Structure 1
Amino acid sequence: MSLLDIETLKRTPAKTDPYEYLVVENFIRPDMFPGVVRDYPQMTTTGSVPPSELDVHGAFEQLLTELEGPAFRAALEEKFGLDLSSYPTMFTVRGHCHKGNGKIHTDTESKIITVLLYMNEKWEADGGRLRILRGPDDLNDYAEEVPPYGGTLLAFRRSENSWHGHEPFEGPRRAIQMNWVTSDKIVDKEQRRHRFSQRLKKLNPFAAD
């Protein structure tokens, strides 16, 4: 059985204010979510980690496979009016958040579509809730605040004004990031960078990113 609720994604309209994005709560089916949480890799550092550096198995491995599958890609192509078939994908996984994370940014130009999938079972903190921002200067000037738990999906088309960020939070914060990027060279470069960063973080697990 599929872990992902593709039909709800298909029915969810993309928003255009302040840029192109969509949010789908419970995108991982609620009856399947506990199994994915059970198999989520054990992580002890902050920062983004390539799946190749983690113990990927079980329902978590199935999740990554489905995210890279044709049904998910086709649904996002339809939402954003893009043909993504010629672009490579890149995954990173997070387990912990540093208080310096979440600063306002747009993502790099090499990213075409950014997908965030939140893997926390619940969220009570004020910080760590990603906001769709109207500009680069004010975390309180936002169009929407995304629930960072329960398999919530956020997908957006990267642009010069795709500002997002969150209030500071320090502690466990599980999230998967997936991107369609402009070339395989970008994937190789970014994965090498994240691997090097993680080796340094093993010496200081909660250093800032």
Structure 2
Amino acid sequence: MPTKLLNTESLISADLRSEPYRWARITESFRSPEIADELRRTFPTDGFGRKQRRLGESSVSGGHYLNGRGLVTRETAEVHRPETLSSAWAQLAEDLLSDDYRDAMSRLTGIELTGTLLEAIVFRQPEGGYLDPHPDNPAKPVSQVFYFNEEDWSIDWGGWLRILRSDDIEDYTDELAPACNSSTVLVRSDDSWHGYHPVRGARERLSLQIFFCRPDMKFATEYGPDWTKPPRITRPLRLGEND
């Protein structure tokens, strides 16, 4: 099934860098600027919930403060609450589940993704939202993050993704604005450190995270698609205001 909104040609032809690990920046993630703008204007608003974890509570991740909601559920490949989505976002969810998108990601990264599961999570990061340096779960070979903020997003507002050489947030090679129509692909390794400083100011950081994972992958904390409900916990998670 060909994608209608996603620019798979741009994805396949992207420059997959090798330093400090394998990653790519895509500047035309959708088939037109008008499509990207429509997705930005109709960005989901329903069903968001906050999850927070302190640094050191997971063996594979740093601390985080995330305000998200599921879009595609990993276990079932179902779109979460499609009745709350605009027509553009409903179509985007279909595109993400297509063989065309999976094949494009495989062609870019050289990783066979047949048999992996896909999960999609939408984030509206408010002031204070952050992501500490982490290399991702070993069972998550490839991820892509799409951004939906306007082009004038200042570096002073935080939330710029940093491609890191180590677990030090200041040890970075590249710093990427969350600009609409752009996206970042990360190929997971033991050295694929990345993260971003807390969001500052009145605007929310808008993004969509896609990851492919092995069917046996276990998170330290399993959130599920409905972030307004308690997570499916496999180890303690702190949710206090000042955690």
TM over 0.5: yes
Alignment of structure 1 residues 21-40 onto 2, 5 Å? 21-28=23-30, 29-40=32-43
Partner of 2:162: 131
Range that drifts further, 105-114 or 35-44: 35-44
The amino acid that maps onto 2:68 is: S
Q: Is the 8 A contact 1:23 1:155 kept in 2?
A: yes
Q: TM-score, normalised by structure 2?
A: 0.73
SS at match of 1:121: coil
The amino acid that maps onto 1:133 is: L
CA distance in 2 between partners of 1:98 and 1:45 (Å) = 14
CA distance in 1 between partners of 2:39 and 2:183 (Å) = 15
Structure 1 unmatched runs, 5+: none
CA distance in 2 between partners of 1:125 and 1:99 (Å) = 15
SS at match of 2:189: coil
SS at match of 2:133: coil
Matched, 1:71 2:71: no
The amino acid that maps onto 2:204 is: P
Q: Is the 8 A contact 1:98 1:208 kept in 2?
A: no
SS at match of 2:104: helix
SS at match of 1:103: strand
Alignment of structure 1 residues 96-115 onto 2, 5 Å? 96-97=125-126, 99=128, 101-115=130-144
Higher strand share: 2
Judging changes above 3 Å, is the alpha-carbon distance between structure 1 residues 130 and 84 closer, same or farther for their aligned structure 2 residues?
same
SS at match of 1:92: strand
SS at match of 1:198: coil
- Residue 155 of structure 1 and its aligned partner are, at CA, apart by 0.8
Judging changes above 3 Å, is the alpha-carbon distance between structure 1 residues 178 and 207 closer, same or farther for their aligned structure 2 residues?
farther
SS at match of 2:12: helix
Judging changes above 3 Å, is the alpha-carbon distance between structure 1 residues 88 and 184 closer, same or farther for their aligned structure 2 residues?
farther
Judging changes above 3 Å, is the alpha-carbon distance between structure 1 residues 153 and 20 closer, same or farther for their aligned structure 2 residues?
same
Alignment of structure 1 residues 176-195 onto 2, 5 Å? 176-183=208-215, 186=218, 190-192=222-224, 195=226
Partner of 1:140: 170
The amino acid that maps onto 1:4 is: L
Matched, 1:9 2:11: yes
Range that drifts further, 40-49 or 121-130: 40-49
Q: What is the Cα-based RMSD across aligned positions, in Å?
A: 2.8
Range that drifts further, 66-75 or 11-20: 66-75
Q: Is the 8 A contact 2:123 2:206 kept in 1?
A: yes
CA distance in 1 between partners of 2:215 and 2:192 (Å) = 21
Matched, 1:49 2:80: no
Matched, 1:153 2:183: yes
- Residue 78 of structure 1 and its aligned partner are, at CA, apart by 1.3
Judging changes above 3 Å, is the alpha-carbon distance between structure 1 residues 191 and 53 closer, same or farther for their aligned structure 2 residues?
farther
Judging changes above 3 Å, is the alpha-carbon distance between structure 1 residues 160 and 25 closer, same or farther for their aligned structure 2 residues?
same
Partner of 1:175: 207
Matched, 1:199 2:229: yes
> Aligned residues: percent identity?
25
- Residue 53 of structure 1 and its aligned partner are, at CA, apart by 5.2
Judging changes above 3 Å, is the alpha-carbon distance between structure 1 residues 106 and 78 closer, same or farther for their aligned structure 2 residues?
same
Q: Give the number of equivalent residue pairs.
A: 202
Range that drifts further, 173-182 or 122-131: 122-131
Higher helix share: 1
CA distance in 2 between partners of 1:2 and 1:67 (Å) = 10
